[in-house]
Structure 1
Amino acid sequence: MVAGQSYRPTRRAARRVDTGSDLAHRCCGESNRLVDRWLEEGVRPVLVTTKIKDIHELAAELELVRRGRTVVQCHGVFDLLHIGHIRHFQQAKKSGEMLIVTVTPDRHVNKGPHRPVFTELLRAEAIAALDGVDYVAINKWPTAVEAIQLLRPDVYAKGSDYANASTDITGGISLERSAIEDIGGKLVFTDEIRFSSSALLNQHMSIFSDEVNDYLTKFRRMYSTADVTGFIDRARGVRALVVGDAIIDDYQYCETLGKSGKEPILAAQFVRSEKFVGGALAVANHIASCCADVRLVTMLGSDDSHEAFIRASLAPGVVPEFLTMAGAPTLIKRRFIETYPFQKLFEVYVMNEQAAQQKAHDLCAVLEQVVPEVDVVIAADYGHGMIGPAVVDVLCRTARCLAVNAQVNAGNHGFNTVSKYRRADFISLSEKEIRLEARNPSGDLRELVHRVAGALQCRQVLVTRGARGSLCYGRDEGFFETPGFALRTVDRVGAGDAVFAIGSVCAAVGAPIEVIGFIGNAVGSEAVGIVGNQRFIERAPLLKHIEALLKV
């Protein structure tokens, strides 16, 4: 086989690959569960080969065994070990006498929630089986920088894919170059036969359904990775304003004890609690990963404001302006959750809608001043009193580009529909919210979307449909359906906010609705794997996720 030549298996070989893929995923699932159990019990797994070391132990051992020998370090995910990796290791070792390989840990593999296919232990074991590799360690950090500083190799080797730093999506190669040069080492690039684990997995061992694979095949023919990521890159220069309800998501974890002895109610024992910023606060944090200039206008209560917690939880690029609701708390949505399995039992709202409505005049005055200064206004409208008719009028009248999510939830009883806005450039709603707006529970969804878009003079509409993906509509492009990419759902809270946030900035830079649907579903598949808003969508991992989905 020569460089650039593709491998096409026979039908029989393809069946073997498919069978092996199924077996690999079952084994990986068992391995993941075993590792999770080890971690919960505080047990350190036995390493199956003496080549595999804890990274700190390896640092100490290198001090003893290097004895003037040149140490070469390679680093990566190595999710599917292939001939390209083997040639890379062989050529790298020619730069020295001892080869160490550090492996990206599972928690820092930024290729989407469907990766890695193989756990960190299995990946390390596969590499350790190669004769030319002297030591293997699982990294503890997101990048190789800390590993380079700890292990202090003489040479750091990367594939020629990274020779042009400008094409590195994460920018990590520049940091790694600085790290190796700071310790007196050098960076070298190997130039061997090129393969891609992501491309091989996509072509021969895809873990997606036939529906998703067919969709991705068609999408790849229309858009390259650079086409799609280019819209996210372009968003860096967008000046964004988020307007909407500030929410604290309070998760109260407990263990159910059973029925109360005296009353027909469920009794539970408190275990722990955690809280996250939600609502417009979460939307602003998501957007800050893509836009350098993000402003936030929202309301906090004078009682139990949680302002210090909120300020500490906002992304560095978010500039907030808080209005104070007198005699009211900051809105809290408190959910009581059975710890294992992760199951929500019930929810309690702590809020005062009237206090928010009384601040409408002050809010309008702020918006009249701020809205003309930004490129896009993102109305994160949860229907809890902050965005009333007067505020809607200011937004519709003054925003250059207006993105709207009018959420229906238990706290607004279905009264918060998108028709309260007379115009919008982009709207993101769930199918339930579209049907409630149209007062039609079972009619043709496309017809309902077309009707809502016409009423709001809206150019682009994204309708989220849970596991079924999304339906997208563009006034000039028509309808597109995007299947769901999520393989595992942990918590749906906040997923719609993440899709709305990233979709809004993509719409603001002119992305086609089909691309917005693709990016939105990639974002959604990441968000449903996160408990609440424990963390937010980040630009670099999202770009790597998109790259992994589109590689062939």
Structure 2
Amino acid sequence: MRNKIFTQKSIKKEIKKQKLKNKTIVLCHGVFDLLHLGHIKHFESARTKGDFLIVSITSDKYVNKGPGRPLFNKDIRANTISALSIVDAVIISNFETSEEIIKIIKPDIYFKGPDYKNNKKDLSKNIYKEIKAVKKYNGKIIYSNDETYSSSNLINNSGILFNDEQKKFLNSIKKKYSFDYIFKTFERFNFLRPLIIGETIIDEYIFCDVLGKSGKEPHLVIKDEFVESYLGGAGAIANHLSSFCKKINFLTCIGDQNNHVNFIKKSIKKNINSKIIIKKNSPTILKKRFLDIVSRNKLFGVYSMNDQLVDLKTTQNIYNNIKNNFLGSDLLIISDYGHGFISDKLAKDISKLNKFTALNAQVNASNYGYHSLNKYKKIDSLIINETELRHEVRDKRTDVYALSKILKKKYKINNLIVTRGRNGALLIGNEKNKIIQCPAFTEKVIDKVGAGDTMLSIISLCLKLKIPGELSLLIGSLAGANSVESIANSQTLDKKNLLRKIEYILK
């Protein structure tokens, strides 16, 4: 059997041969994660429109259909489709959209499924770009009338991807909330104007080659290969919300030494109105992490910071900015890393403001044993992980559900979210202290840095709008899962991508 899997270079040569024979080139493009009858019928219909059928397959890293997808890698998918006699050629697309593949192939016919007939239903809006690209090369787009079978639906219900707990939770969501309802909920986010308060952190990742033990002394020797820097801390939260809300206010603090101000301004999205407070005699917080270049495992970290409290004058300046400039905001999102930006007095003053307040008071290596929630008096939404919960109530052994209720009552928290890693997350709202449990949907954990902030950003919007707790928890959990699958905050949360993941996970 001839090899039907082509490279970009070889497919151009093949197309040239076919054109010399006056053959009509037809292109189908998609993920084709689980080959089924719907795909076969789709390819058969496409083949009737021309003489030479090419199927392009989205590369793994650009598949955006939720946790665990694609189920099969690009090579397996390509080999499976190439085994079909109806298909003449297969090419793997290493692009985010199909525009580049259309540019390479210049098909006479671009064949799409019936679910694309109503272009407005395409959340990504890529269909408009595809139509434009096809017409540019004098091609024609045709939509099939075949019955569709959803790969996502088959996979979601097969037990291959989701366990019984996950399926039960997702089925409960599907019965109560249509995707149209979820889509309209996301549209409501546009009109919220959040104020994010917290320190900006620069996360610097140094990728190293581990050379081994020093020849003269008992210590590890590493060779740095390259460095990547990401905007972290409260700056990352602001960026995560930039595609969800039209306008965002951001109040933060950096140092007067080595302040990275150009990097910060360049990294902040355009719809974020930022006010930067300078902390005297301090560097901008820089958290360096050294990683093995092969395994990407972290070796050790070095923090550059002055975690002393800001002076009283600066504290008053921060509060005046909140009170005078940002009171037009609908909600406050506070990320307190315990590095000296938010003093007890400032926290108490903020608590007196009549605003919906969401909080993440993080326990980390530099504040362990010192950081506490007791300086906050009014919390509408708190996100905390199980370790931080046990630290806060000083209890190592008691059931996490009982501890959650204790903490909620102690600080009069309206909505308490506790993240538990592989055990998922729970939410206790005001409905008779009912505990909502959401299973974890993360398939691979690359880096946990920033996951709590990512979840805080989106779940704060949900709870502000009084979106039902179980749906809010699912949306927040999927956002957190998106974060841990990349390094630090290298990937900003995107509204369209998150919606697409929800759409596919609920099929």
Q: State the TM-score, normalizing by the size of structure 2.
A: 0.93
Deviations 1:163-220 (A, max 9, x none): 1223222222222223223333332210112101111111225223333233333333
Instruction: Render the CA deviation track for 1:365-419: whole Å, top value 9, x for unaligned.
Output: 2111233111121111111111113332343233522111111112123332223
Taking structure 1 as reference, are residues 328 and 136 closer, same or farther at Cα in structure 2, changes over 3 Å only?
same
Partner of 1:417: 372
- Moved beyond 6 Å, runs of 4+: none
1:247–1:333 Cα contact (<8 Å) kept: yes
1:543 aligns with 2:499: yes
8 Å Cα contact 1:368-1:394 kept in structure 2: no
**Cα separation, 2, equivalents of 1:261 and 1:83:** 63
Aligned to 2:257: 303
CA-CA distance at 1:332 after TM superposition: 0.7
Matched, 1:282 2:236: yes
- Kindly state the Cα deviation for residue 515 of structure 1 after the two structures are TM-superposed: 1.1
Determine the structure 2 residue equivalent to 1:378.
333
Q: What does 1:321-340 correspond to in 2, within 5 Å? A: 321-340=275-294
Aligned to 1:367: 322
SS at match of 1:277: strand
Partner amino acid for 2:7?
A: D
Q: What is the 5 A alignment of 1:86-101?
A: 86-101=40-55
1:109 deviates by: 0.2
Q: Which residue of structure 1 lines up, in the alignment, with residue 106 of structure 2?
A: 152
Which of 4, 12, 19 does residue 59 from structure 1 map onto? Answer: 12
- Report the CA distance between 1:455 and its aligned residue: 4.0
1:415 to 1:196, Cα distance in 2 relative to 1, 3 A: same
1:388 to 2:343 alignment: yes
Q: Secondary structure at the match of 1:253?
A: strand
1:431 paired to 2:418? no
Q: Residue 405 of structure 1 contacts residue 418 of structure 1 at CA under 8 Å; is this kept in 2? A: no
1:229-308 map, 5 Å: 229-308=183-262
Which is further off, 353-362 or 538-547?
Answer: 353-362
- The equivalent residue for 2:166 is 212
Q: Map 1:143-222; keep pairs closer than 5 Å.
A: 143-222=97-176
CA separation of 1:57/1:296 partners in 2, compared to 1, >3 Å: closer, same or farther? farther
Q: For residue 480 of structure 2, what is the aligned residue in structure 1?
A: 524
* Partner amino acid, structure 2, of 1:396: S
Note the C-alpha offset of 1:261. 4.8
| Equivalent residue, structure 2, for 1:454 | 409
Aligned residue identity for 1:384: H
**Structure with greater helix share of residues:** 1
Asked whether the equivalents of residues 372 and 399 of structure 1 are also in contact (C-alpha less than 8 Å), the reply is no
Which of 315, 329, 332 matches 2:269?
315
Range with bigger deviation, 508-517 or 312-321 = 312-321
Which residue of 2 is the match for residue 503 of structure 1?
Answer: 459
SS in structure 1 at match of 2:49: coil
1:357 Cα deviation after fit: 4.2
- Judge conservation of contact 1:246–1:331 (CA < 8 Å) in 2: yes
Q: Which residue of 1 aligns with 2:72?
A: 118
Q: Aligned with 1:379: secondary structure?
A: strand
Per-residue deviation, 1:148: 1.8
Q: Say whether the 8 Å CA contact 2:309–2:343 is kept in structure 1.
A: no
> What SS does the aligned partner of 1:188 have?
strand
Aligned residue type for 1:52: I
Contact preservation (8 Å) 2:310, 2:343: no
- Partner amino acid, structure 2, of 1:165: N
Higher mean C-alpha deviation, range 142-151 or range 444-453: 444-453
How many residue pairs align between the two structures? 504
SS at match of 1:398: coil
User: Share of identical aligned residues, percent?
Assistant: 35
- What is the RMSD of the two structures over their aligned residues, measured on CA atoms? 2.2
Moved more, 259-268 or 110-119: 259-268
TM-score, length-scaled by structure 1: 0.86
SS of the residue aligned with 2:290? strand
C-alpha distance 153-258 of structure 1, shift in aligned 2 (>3 A): closer
> What's the secondary structure of 2:352's corresponding residue?
helix
Over 3 Å counting, the alpha-carbon distance change for 1:49 and 1:430 in structure 2 is farther
Which amino acid letter does the alignment assign opposite residue 61 of structure 1?
A: E
Counterpart-to-counterpart distance in 2, 1:530 and 1:268: 23
Measure, in 2, the Cα distance between the counterparts of 1:144 and 1:261: 53
- Contact 1:328 1:355 (C-alpha < 8 Å) held by counterparts: no
Aligned residue identity for 1:482: C
Measured after TM superposition, the shift of residue 273 of structure 1 is: 2.3
Secondary structure in structure 1 of the residue aligned to 2:249: strand
Residue 481 of structure 1 corresponds to which residue in structure 2?
437
Unmatched runs of 5 consecutive residues or more in structure 1? 1-47
8 Å contact kept, 1:49–1:128: no
Shift of 1:307: 1.4
